[in-house]
Amino acid sequence: MKLFDVYPLFQIEPVKAEGCYVYDAEGTKYLDFYGGHAVISIGHTHPHYVQRVEAQLEKIAFYSNSVIIPIQKELSEKLGKMSGYPDYNLFLINSGAEAIENALKLASFHTDKPRILAFEKAFHGRTSGGLQVTDYPKMRAPFNGSGQLFLPLNDLVAVENELKKGDVAGIVIEGIQGVAGIVEPHHDFLVGLRKLADEYHAVLILDEVQSGCARTGKFFAHQHAGIQADLITVAKGMGNGFPIGGVLIHPKFKASSGLLGTTFGGNHLACAAAMAVLEVIEQENLMANATILGDYLIKKLLEIKQVKKITGRGLMIGVLLEGGKQVRDNLLSKHKIFTGGASNPDILRLLPPLNITKLECDMLLEAIREEVSVTL
Ligand SMILES: Cc1ncc(COP(=O)(O)O)c(C=O)c1O
């Protein structure tokens, strides 16, 4: 059997990883400013993470959600406390798309309404519900439905016009749009959405799958706007590579037996991984590191005259460069630095582990400076 060929691949085979670096079979060292797509939050193979997952593996790795699993409670309490949502409830699943799927369903159950509002260039995952609110038509099969309206970001009038129709269960928005190329909604727009959602009894869903887990210098990106969401989706950095996702749920949502469910979600091993991530974020002050080094990177990038635009905050940064695609390719092939791409190929997406150091930021900056002077 062959693999189903859906991924364009870099011809690189990492066999080992540590901190902010990955190594291939020949021992070539790569600096990771991509974090395997914002997944590596506390650094590769962090010793505390390895120890906690190994210790859990030796005790019990999995049992179904039909028994008491105390580490789920530990995780929900720690996540609630660290994220500033201590009175919310947590539903655990395995990925970002599943988190979104469950959040959309909860909004619809709660309001008994069918429709979700979403925004242009949004990406919320590739399950059926996720695709309905994802503005990349090529990803959608006929089965996934069509006809979803994507509203312009930052346009409160357009949102209110839809809410007035009376069939809207919820509004879903990324804390910072990732796939779109790191696009942050205006803070007054988020404040306006919160007000409109309250006024029209719609559920406000913040998708923090990519922008969450301390990446932007607050636990969730929407907290920079000073708002609270009704439902928050998390995944990616939550497990530092171990598949886990979650929905943080406002206490007004009533749980009932069988309303949601999953086989693997919240298993012992996944919870141990997520606990380790939260412990390291706390112990190593990674939220502050994301702010300090994010500010540093942005300041230094803005000094490069070929940089057309910088977006994002903390360690979720978009860099628009003329000829950016070539620069990105050269960063990898010549300088051995991974960065992420975006729907606009001239945007570099910087999503490094949150424990990246100034030295490593300087290495990236130097490589970009060299490339823009050669390429452009
Ligand atoms: C904002 C956002 N939501 C949802 C998803 C889907 O997550 P997953 O790939 O874990 O299903 C992604 C993945 O890139 C994402 O960036």
pLDDT surpasses 70 at 49: yes
Q: What is the 3 state secondary structure string of 198-226?
A: HHCCCEEEEECCCCCCCCCCCCCHHHHHC
Which superfamily does 14-46+285-375 belong to? Answer: Aspartate Aminotransferase, domain 1 (3.90.1150.10)
Arithmetic mean of pLDDT over the chain: 96
pLDDT surpasses 70 at 376: no
pLDDT surpasses 70 at 192: yes
**Top mutation candidate among 104, 132, 210 for ligand 1, by most atoms within 8 Å of CB:** 210
Task: Tell me the mean pLDDT in the region 169-189.
Answer: 97
Query: From the CB of 174, is ligand 1 less than 6 Å away?
Result: yes
pLDDT at 343: 84
Q: Is residue 351 within 8 Å of 283, Cβ to Cβ? A: no
Domains of the chain: which residue ranges? 14-46+285-375, 47-283
Residue (of 354, 360, 207) closest to 282 by Cα position:
354
pLDDT above 90: percentage of residues in the chain: 95
Coil/strand/helix, residue 249: strand
pLDDT at 41: 98
pLDDT surpasses 80 at 147: no
Query: From the CB of 97, is ligand 1 less than 6 Å away?
Result: yes
Query: From the CB of 235, is ligand 1 less than 6 Å away?
Result: yes
**Top mutation candidate among 123, 208, 213 for ligand 1, by most atoms within 8 Å of CB:** 123
Coil/strand/helix, residue 283: helix
pLDDT at 145: 81
Residue 373 Cα, ligand 1 centroid: separation in angstroms?
A: 35
Residue (of 44, 41, 54) closest to 14 by Cα position:
44
pLDDT at 346: 94
Task: Identify the residue whose C-alpha is closest to ligand 1 atom 16.
Answer: 210
pLDDT surpasses 90 at 146: no
> Does CATH place domain 47-283 in 3.40.640.10?
yes
Lowest mean pLDDT among 108-112, 236-240, 344-348: 344-348
